[in-house]
Amino acid sequence: MNLLMRILLITALVSASACSSFGRIKDIGQAPDMAPTENPAALYGGREVALPMPATYEQPRQSNSLWRPGARAFFKDQRARRRGDIVTIVIDIDDRARLDNKSERTRTNAEAADVPAFGGFEQSLTNLLPTGASPSPLVDLSSQSTTRGEGSVDRREDVELTIAAIVTQVLPNGNLVVAGKQEVRVNFELRELTVTGIIRPEDISNANRINHTQIAEARISYGGRGQLTDVQQARYGQQLYDILFPF
């Protein structure tokens, strides 16, 4: 790499660092800004969900009947069932995993070969060997190896949250695609919670609530940004060094 390329590379890195630092410097002494209210369907690019669906067909209408063909319930309720409706999602994660692995391997090898007689040439063989050597224990080899491995994983997660999500799409089989986002700012720390997934209308309780365990393809993200989160993160230069340094 010639001198000009090095100068351009250093200039680009310094400029990127300066832009990032300027954005942080102007927020000194101020709480992080909260995002404006937006369409939940755009949280993940606004892409429509496409899943395999059973064949649909039109059912004939029946006159003078209290039961509507294709209806899921006899009485009308206020549970979410259409695009734009709101449903409450209860997140109660209490998972614990513990794994213990231990392995041990021992191996011992030994080989010995004696030459008490060598066709009558023992004396000649003795003369060839160093002083005081004996041709009887001519070869004596031994080896020993021991391998031990031990690993342990002990993890526990406990999250209790409640969030209101919006129905963004009604699939052909009646299932609902929901998405929700919640932001809470406490002093200079902003906590963010996003939830997306697919639910069945039958799983929604009469209080218009559903548990996170009943959400298919659930994507739950709980994090934050602000001064505390910034202190807990390694500097950009250190992260780049950890990626590029091979040792």
Give residue-wise pLDDT tens across range 49-72: 776 666 655 556 666 666 666 555
Query: Phi/psi class of residue 24: alpha, beta or left (left: φ > 0; alpha: ψ in -120 to 50)?
Result: alpha
Confidence class for position 2, pLDDT limits 50, 70, 90: low
The Cα–Cα gap between 72 and 68 comes to: 9
Asked whether the predicted pLDDT for residue 239 surpasses 80, the reply is no
* 222 pLDDT above the threshold of 80: yes
Looking at this protein, which amino acid is placed at residue 72?
R
| pLDDT tens-digit series, residues 66-96 | 666 655 556 666 788 888 889 999 998 887 8
Task: Write the CB contacts of 90 (distance below 8 Å, at least 6 apart in sequence).
Answer: 162, 209, 210, 211, 212
Q: Kindly list the domain boundaries of the chain, sorted by start residue.
A: 40-45+72-96+156-244, 100-152
Determine the average pLDDT of the residues in 174-196: 90
Q: Nearest to residue 195, comparing CAs of 174, 228, 167?
A: 167
pLDDT level of residue 21 (50, 70, 90 thresholds): low
List the structure tokens of 58: 């039109």
Cα–chain-centroid distance for residue 121? 74
Phi, then psi, of 232 in degrees rounded to 5: -75, -15
Query: If we measure between CA atoms, which residue out of 210, 179, 213 comes closest to residue 88?
Result: 210
230: CB partners within 8 A, 6+ apart: 24
